[in-house]
Amino acid sequence: MPQTHRSEERVSMRVPVTLPGGLTGMTRDISASGIYFETDNEPVGDSPLAFSVEFKNEVGVGMTLRCRGQVLRVEHQGSRVGVAARILESKLEPGRAKTQEMKKLVISDGFADSF
């Protein structure tokens, strides 16, 4: 069995992922330093990759993790595409109540070009 060189524990979970260009997908697993998600279309362009992950509780209140990452591999799985990426930068944002404040923060941090 091949050895893996992961420095962080992975957590299996299926939560929505949003990518530039209106692409969406679902995570398969995530860690503090990486993510694997599946989508219907291959992300546009090469690394770096910007994406956001939506975490919601049972009543719909949640957090958004906005990330900038680097694509490590792309796997074609029939009509789906699996993407493994290293998370290079991330920012956890509160739910929709503070959307305007978060837009200002995203713009000031240089993430605006990615989203």
Q: Tens of pLDDT along 2-55?
A: 445 657 888 999 999 999 888 899 999 999 999 999 999 887 666 688 999 998
The token pair that represents 19 in the structure block: 């990518």
Question: Which residues pair with residue 21 across a beta bridge?
Answer: none
| Predicted TM-score of the model (pTM) | 0.72
pLDDT, tens digit, for every residue of 54-89?
988 766 678 999 999 999 989 998 999 999 999 999
Q: In the chain, what are the domains? A: 11-114 (2.40.10)
34 vs 72: CA distance, rounded Å: 10
